[in-house]
Amino acid sequence: MPTDIPAVVVDRLPHYLRTLRLMLDDGIEVVSSRELGEALGTTPAQIRKDLSYFGRFGKQGRGYDVSALLGDLTRILGLERSWPVVLVGVGRLGRAIITYPGLTPEGFHVRAAFDADPSIVGSNVDSVPVRPASEMERFIRDERIEIAILATPGDVAQDVIDRLVACGIRGILNYAPMTPHVPNGITVRTIDPVQALQTMTFYLRDSEEEEDLLPKRNRGRRGNGRR
């Protein structure tokens, strides 16, 4: 398996996974890169090139065996096993994340949640124990946890990130609206709905003028959001 895969390629693999599962559920056994591309909104060439980074999975003249490719991608992404995670910050958002039923079926198990507020420490959220922030490092080290979900306010997020990294966390799913700084080798993904909305408004900016049917100075074609 090649040692340097473009990050954009890795980012697309979960999409492939999801679509292949749907196809398997529909009883589709073989799929061509053209068909997969249509389902995913990409080009056949991109799918073939992406997969070629990891090996040769197709049968010429036929396409890809859905079930086999599903298995291969699952293994490539490291999803044949389950992953324990911790959550930091048990506010409104943190609770919603713990309660979200989509993580467990994908193999991500929230083992503990941490918060600085003594009034909620000791309680349970959806059977996940809330522990004091001071015990965070020990728990992560003892349980050999590598993934953390961060749902604290933005102003303490960087401190928490530094602590997480120091005790062995290697992947952080960040819900705090801030710019995370981490050393090389640590993967951070930030989920930020406001940021997403703020990029959309750029493209919507002055559309009301167009809607008013006033044929002003001809507005040039503006780039649209990808996908």
**Where on the chain is the footprint of DNA (CB under 7 A)?**
6-9, 32-34, 42-46, 48-49, 51-52, 56-64
Q: How many residues does the chain have?
A: 227
Using rule CB under 8 A, residue 156 touches a copy of itself: no
215 binds, among a copy of itself, DNA, none (CB under 5 to 8 A by kind): none
Is 93 buried (19+), middle (13-18) or exposed (0-12) by CB count in 10 A?
middle
- In the range 78-137, which residues lie near a copy of itself by CB under 8 A? 78-79, 83, 85, 92-93, 96-97, 99-103, 106, 108
119 binds, among DNA, a copy of itself, none (CB under 5 to 8 A by kind): none
- Would you give the distance in Å from CA 155 to the centre of its chain? 23
Among 69, 76, 133, 150, binds a copy of itself (CB under 8 A): 76
Using rule CB under 8 A, residue 216 touches a copy of itself: no
d(CA 187, CA 173): 8
Q: What is the DSSP letter of 226?
A: -
# binding residues, a copy of itself (CB under 8 A): 81
Is 190 buried (19+), middle (13-18) or exposed (0-12) by CB count in 10 A?
middle
Largest CA distance in the chain: 67
Strand boundaries in 36-195, DSSP class E: 58-59, 63-65, 83-88, 108-115, 124-125, 128-132, 147-150, 171-174, 187-190
Among 70, 130, 147, 150, binds a copy of itself (CB under 8 A): 147
Residue 65 main-chain phi, psi, to 5 deg: -75, 115
H-state helical runs in 26-76: 33-40, 44-52, 66-76
Closest approach of Cβ 227 to DNA, in Å? Answer: 11
Among 61, 208, 213, 214, binds a copy of itself (CB under 8 A): 208
Looking at the Cβ atoms of 93 and 132, the one nearer to a copy of itself is: 93
- In the range 175-194, which residues lie near a copy of itself by CB under 8 A? 177-182, 184-194
Using rule CB under 8 A, residue 52 touches a copy of itself: no
178 binds, among a copy of itself, DNA, none (CB under 5 to 8 A by kind): a copy of itself
Using rule CB under 8 A, residue 212 touches a copy of itself: no
